[in-house]
Amino acid sequence: MAKVNIESIIKRTAQETVKELERNRLIKSDSLTYFQKTEKLLYSYPDLLQAIKQKEEDIKYIESYGVGETSKSVVLYTTGGGGSEQEKYVEIIEGYKASRERTKRLTEKIERAIDEIKEDKYYCIIEKKYFTKLTREEMEEVLNISESTIRRHRNRLINRLKVILFGADALE
């Protein structure tokens, strides 16, 4: 009788299941490197700050006018459950507040990481590329430095930021 390796079967089944879920877009493959994740956070930072302001405006609007006639810019967060109008109102407000707080925590994390590199002579490369969104050519002109200098210092600073943002995981 052939010996069955249960661990091997479980591992293979799990891998096939994950692939199938990714194919059907039921889960997202996280294939970004920590360098890319750091860049994504930096590019998103100005928009995240704007999102916080928008959430705060939405919360004030809902608190002032309720949820019956919501503004077109207001997106309602509900779990879809039943309940009284008051319960729905509380659920919506709490959803907005939770979303705002998650976004605030993320922007504060980015800000703390940025504070660690702000004194660097080449920090302006980070500002110009990710926050002002200048092109490579515009950065060369504005900063009066070569493309290779920009690339070298950007990579160095992003590598510092990724460790600050993601810890030891970013070193693997």
Residue 140 scores a pLDDT above 80: yes
Higher local confidence (pLDDT), 172 or 80: 172
d(CA 27, CA 50): 28
Question: Residue 19: its pLDDT value, please?
Answer: 72
- Gap between the Cα atoms of 47 and 112, Å rounded: 17
Please write the tens of the pLDDT for every residue from 47-75: 999 999 999 999 999 888 877 654 455 55
**What is the average pLDDT score of the chain?**
86
Residue 130 DSSP symbol = I
- What is the C-alpha end-to-end distance of the chain, expressed in Å? 43
Element (H, E) at 20: helix 6-23
**Which DSSP helix (H) or strand (E) runs through 65?**
helix 34-65
Report residue 117 CA to chain centroid gap.
20
Closest CA to 27 of 15, 40, 18: 18
| 151/126 Cα distance (integer angstroms) | 11
Residues in the chain: 172
Torsion over CA: 161, 162, 163, 164 (sign): positive
Name the residue type at position 78: T
Residue 12 pLDDT grade (very low, low, confident, very high; cuts 50, 70, 90):
confident
- Three-state SS at 91: helix
CA–CA distances in Å: residue 156 to residues 49, 50, 96, 119, 170: 25, 28, 37, 14, 14
